[in-house]
Amino acid sequence: MIYLGAILCGIGLAFGQLLFKLCANSYKDAGTVFNSQVIIYFFSSVTFYGFITLLWIWLLSRAELGKLYPFMALAFAVVPIQSYFILGESFSVRYFIGIVLIMAGITLTVWQDKTWQ
């Protein structure tokens, strides 16, 4: 349950970044922060990050930071994937290989093998 929450935090950070990017794009198009779409994206971003932060604090009260923190690296993998599919940004194959290596690193970091203890 704790690791599921940590996964949600990592993915949630990525989703928050997508919301911030949508806010930035709306600001660029509107040319003002007083545009309703800019305001909606901004407050959605901040509110979402607030909830993710509360979940993170709850998780930290129940597990060690060193065991939870590798899940934050999920954001490094999820953000580019989101930006590719949702925002139409492009990345090289080498970039996606790097994402696979990040995911492998997370797996190695949190994998608990009883023979190594």
pLDDT per position as a tens digit, 21-33: 999 999 999 999 9
Confidence of residue 113 (pLDDT cuts 50, 70, 90): low
Domain with 61, as residue range(s), is 2-116
2 and 68 in contact (C-beta within 8 Å)?
Answer: yes
Angle at 102 between CA 89 and CA 98, to 5 degrees: 50
Could you read off the pLDDT of 43-67 as tens digits, one per residue? 999 999 999 999 999 999 999 998 8
Provide the number of structural domains found in the chain. 1
pLDDT at 115: 47
Phi and psi, residue 29, nearest 5° = -70, -40
CA distance 98 to 93: 9
Note the pLDDT tens digit of each residue in 85-106.
999 999 899 988 998 998 898 8
Q: How far is it, in rounded angstroms, from Cα 42 to Cα 36?
A: 10
